[in-house]
Amino acid sequence: MRQVLIGLLALPLLAMAAPQADYATQWPLRLESEDAGAYQVQLDASVYRQLQAADLGDLAVLNGEGAVLPVARLPVPAQPVQRASVPLFALPVPGRGAAEWQLITRADADGRLRQVEVRSEDGTPMPAADGAWLLDLGGIDASVVALELGWAPVTGMDLGYRLEASDNLEHWRPLPAHGRLIDLQRDGHRLLQRRIDLPGGTDAHYLRLLPEGRGGPVTLTGVDAVLALGPVPAPQWLELSPVDTEPAQRVFEYRLDGRFPVGQVDVAMPGNHAAEWRLESRDDADAPWRLRAGPWIAYRVGTAGGASRSAARVLDTAIRDRHWRLRSDAGVAGTPTLRLGYRPETVVFLARGPAPYRLVAGSARVQQQASPLPQLLAALRDQHGPDWQPARAELGESKTLAGAAALTPTRDWKTWMLWGVLGLGVLLVASLAVAVLRNPRNSST
C-alpha cells in the first residue's frame, strides 16, 4: 500500500517533467560560456510568430531533462535622451502680407539670442503675431531629435507646422519635418499632441517654426528640445497589406501574425501622397478599437534631390495586438501599406539541470507564472556593478515540437484526473493515519 501511495502522489510531478508536448516549436540554444549560470537570448521574428499570449506566458526554456526553466524579459534599451529648454521668439510668417520686414537681433557673448525685434524697411517696429516662431539652439551641443511645445490654454486647436533650419538667420533650408499641434476636448476626453519629431536629428543653430494653412496663431509658452545622447538600435519593420477595405477607401484593416512589441508605426503608399490618419488596434475581433496614434499627416513628396517623407510615429508603449486599423476622414487614392516597427526583446534564464537547453514557445495550454528573476538580476548588478550582464546565448534553427496541436486549447481532463488521484491518495493516507492512532498496538505488529 505504501508503494502504491507514493506512486500515485508522484503522477502529477511526472506530468510536469515532460512539458514539451504542450509547446509548438523549439529552438536549441548555443551558450557563449558553459558555466555562466545566467544567460540572455534575443528573440527573433520566428519566436514572436509562435507566441500566443500577449504577456509572453507561453515562452519558456527547457533543460536536458525537459524541466521548465522560467524566463524574464530584460527592459528594451531606450534611447538615452535629455530635454533642454530653448529660447523662442515670435515672428511674422514669411511671404504673408505685402510688407517687407527684417530682424534686429541682440545676442550675448556666447552667441545666444536675448532679444529679437521685427521692423519694417523704414525701421518701424512691427507686431509678430502671425504664428511663426524662431528657436535658438545655439547653446545645445547634441543633436536635436524632437521638439515638445507648450502653449497657453485654448478652447480648441488643430494646426500644422513645418520647420526650416539656419546657421546665420539669413539662409534657411527646409527640414523633412512636419508636425501637428492638437489640443481638443470632447465629452470629457482630451486629445493632445505637442511633439514634433525631427527625422535624423538636426545640429542647426536656429530653427524656424512655420504654420501650414491659415489657422489662428497659437501663443507658445515654452519649447523643450529633445536631445539624443547615444545610439539606439534601429527598429525592425513589418509591412502589412490590408485584409479588409471600406468601399469609400477610408478604413483599412490589417492582421499581425505574431506577438511583436510594436513601438513605431508608419504608412507607405506608392508615388507622392499626403493623408491624415488615425491608427487603432485591438487584440480580439470582438473587442472595441482603441486609438494608438494620430491624427497625423503621412506624406511623401519627390523632388529633384530625392524624396521627402514624414517621420514614423512613436507609440507611448509597446503594443502586441493582432488587429490594426487605419482610418482617414477623406477617401484616399491607392492602398496604404501599414509599417509596424519593433525592437527585439531579450529574455534571461538561469541554467539549472543538465544541458542541452532549448527555448520553447507557442502554447494554448500553459501559462508561466511570474518568476523572481528580475529581483535576482538586480541583486547581481548590486554585487557586480551596474554594467554586469548575463552571458549570451543564441537561437539555433527552429524545430517543431507539438506543432499546431499545441496551439489548440484542449480540455484539461488529465490535470483534473491527476489532481483527483492525488486527492484520493491524501484521503487514503489520512485514513491510514487515523487507523494507526486508534489502534497503535495492532499497527506495530
Report pLDDT digits (tens) over 229-255: 666 678 899 999 999 888 888 999 999
One-letter identity of residue 72: A
Same domain assignment for residues 250 and 321: yes
Q: Is the pLDDT of residue 162 over 70?
A: yes
* 93/217 same-domain check: yes
Asked if residue 108 and residue 210 are part of one domain, the reply reads yes
Letter for the amino acid at 87? Answer: P
State residue 316's pLDDT score.
82
Total-model pTM: 0.62
Q: Judge if 248 and 375 occupy the same domain.
A: no
Q: Is the backbone peptide bond immediately before 356 cis, with ω within 30 degrees of 0?
A: yes
- Could you tell me if residue 125 is inside a domain? yes
For residue 140, tell me if it sits in a domain: yes
pLDDT at position 52: 94
Task: Determine the average pLDDT of the residues in 391-411.
Answer: 87
End residue of a domain, out of 296, 311, 342: 342
- Listed range (108-117, 147-156, 233-242, 269-278) with the worst mean pLDDT: 108-117
Q: Look up the domain containing 195 and give its range.
A: 81-228
Q: Please tell me whether residues 253 and 190 are part of one structural domain.
A: no
Instruction: Report the distance separating Cα 335 and Cα 402, nearest Å.
Output: 38
Number of structural domains in the chain: 3
pLDDT over 90 for what percent of the chain? 27
Residues 216 and 278 in one domain: no
Q: Quick check: is 116 in a domain?
A: yes
Residue 252 lies in a domain: yes
Q: Are residues 92 and 222 in the same domain?
A: yes
Cell numbers standing for residue 130: 502671425
**pLDDT tens-digit map of 305-348:** 556 677 788 888 899 999 999 999 888 888 999 999 999 999 99
Q: Are 232 and 143 in contact (CB under 8 A)?
A: no
User: How does DSSP classify residue 411?
Assistant: -
Beta bridge partners of residue 74, listed in sequence order? 346
Q: Identify whether 369 is part of a domain.
A: yes
- 137 shares a domain with 70: no
**Are residues 206 and 111 part of one domain?**
yes
Give backbone dihedrals phi and psi of 182, rounded to 5 degrees, phi first: -130, 135
Instruction: Give yes or no: residues 332 and 361 share one domain.
Output: no
Q: Is residue 437 part of a domain?
A: no
**212 and 121 both lie in a single domain:** yes
> The domain spanning residue 119 has which CATH number?
2.60.120.260
Q: Is residue 153 part of a domain?
A: yes
Q: Under the phi-then-psi rule, with left for phi > 0, alpha for psi from -120 to 50, and beta for the rest, what region is 118? A: beta
CA distances from 388 to 38, 39, 373 (A): 11, 12, 15
Task: Please identify, among 342, 367, 390, the residue that sits at the C-terminal boundary of a domain.
Answer: 342
Amino acid letter at 404? A
What are 398's three cell numbers?
527552429
Residue where one domain finishes, among candidates 183, 207, 228: 228
Separation of alpha carbons 334 and 274, rounded Å: 11
Structure letter (DSSP) for residue 138? T
pLDDT of residue 178: 74
Task: Please tell me whether residues 188 and 221 are part of one structural domain.
Answer: yes
69: enclosing H helix or E strand:
strand 68-69
Is residue 274 one of the residues assigned to a domain?
yes
| 27 touches 394 (CB < 8 A) | no
